[in-house]
Amino acid sequence: MKLPRDMDAAELIKALGRLGYRAVRQSGSHVRLQCDDPVHAITIPNHRPLRVGTLAAILADVAATHGVERDALIGLLFG
């Protein structure tokens, strides 16, 4: 499945909320998200739109943490 090309940080944060991620702090233009099960923290740049490479790296990290394929994660979050 292809990555969305026009995703902004607010949309990504909302989508990751379905997996249990929540915003714990913001420093400048970066938002720190945390998930408790499994324990994982990730920083998202609060940009509009997110660069495709940045989005791909964030989703790859989340997929690896949750033990799913990146394409399956994209389908779950945006499908």
Tokens 């923290």 correspond to 41
The confidence score (pLDDT) of residue 51 equals 94
Residue 36 lies in a domain: yes
Q: Which two tokens stand for residue 75?
A: 């389908």
Residue 2 lies in a domain: no
Residue 34 lies in a domain: yes
Greater model confidence, 2 or 61: 61
pLDDT tens figures, 54-65: 999 999 999 999
Number of domains in the chain: 1
Residue 33 lies in a domain: yes
CATH of the domain at 62: 3.30.920.30
Residue 1 lies in a domain: no
Residue 3 lies in a domain: no
Return d(Cα 61, Cα 33) in angstroms, integer. Answer: 13
Q: What is the pTM of this model?
A: 0.91
Orientation angle between helical segments 70-78 and 9-17, nearest 10 degrees: 100
Residue 20 lies in a domain: yes
